[in-house]
Amino acid sequence: MRALLDIFLPRHCPVSGRPLLTDEPGPVAPEVLRALEVCGSDYCARCGAPQGAGVGRVGSCDSCRDATDGFGADGITAVGRYTEPMRGLCKAMKFGNARDIALPLAAFLAQMLLDRGVAAGVDVVVPLPLHVLRHFERGCNQAELIARPLARALNKPLLSRALRRARGTDRQARLSPLQRRRNVENAFVARPRLAPRLAGRHVLLVDDVLTTGATFAAAATALRQAGAASVHGAVAARAALDDDR
Ligand SMILES: [Zn+2]
180-223 tens-digit pLDDT: 667 787 889 999 999 999 999 999 999 999 988 989 999 999 99
Q: What is the pLDDT of residues 8-60, one digit of tens each?
A: 778 899 999 999 998 998 889 999 999 999 999 999 999 999 999 999 999 99
Cα 108 to ligand 1 centroid, rounded to whole Å: 19
Structure confidence at residue 9 (pLDDT)? 73
% pLDDT > 90, the chain: 69
**Cα 133 to ligand 1 centroid, rounded to whole Å:** 32
What's the chain's average pLDDT?
Answer: 89
Whole-number Å distance, alpha carbon 126 to ligand 1 midpoint, is: 22
Greater model confidence, 51 or 5: 51
Residue 149's pLDDT is what? 97
pLDDT digits (tens, 9 = 90+) for 109-155: 999 999 999 999 999 999 999 877 777 777 789 999 999 999 999 99
Residue list, CB under 5 A from ion ligand 1: 44, 46-47, 49, 61, 64
What is the distance in A from the centroid of ligand 1 to the CA of 48?
6
Say how many Å lie between the CA of residue 44 and the centre of ligand 1. Answer: 5
Which pTM was predicted? 0.91
Contacting residues for 225 by C-beta, under 8 A, at least 6 apart: 190
Highest mean pLDDT among 1-10, 80-89, 130-139, 158-167: 80-89
Res 26: pLDDT: 86
Q: Torsions phi, psi of 195, nearest 5? A: -55, -40
182 CA to centre of ligand 1 in angstroms: 23
Please tell me the class of the 26-238 domain. alpha beta
Report CA(27)–ligand 1 centroid distance (Å): 31
Separation of 61 CA from ligand 1 center, angstroms?
4
Rounded distance from Cα 184 to ligand 1 centre (Å):
22
The per-residue pLDDT for 169 is 57
- For residue 66, the CA-to-ligand 1 centroid distance in Å is 9
Q: Compute the C-alpha angle 75/78/81, nearest 5°.
A: 130
Per-domain residue ranges of the chain: 26-238
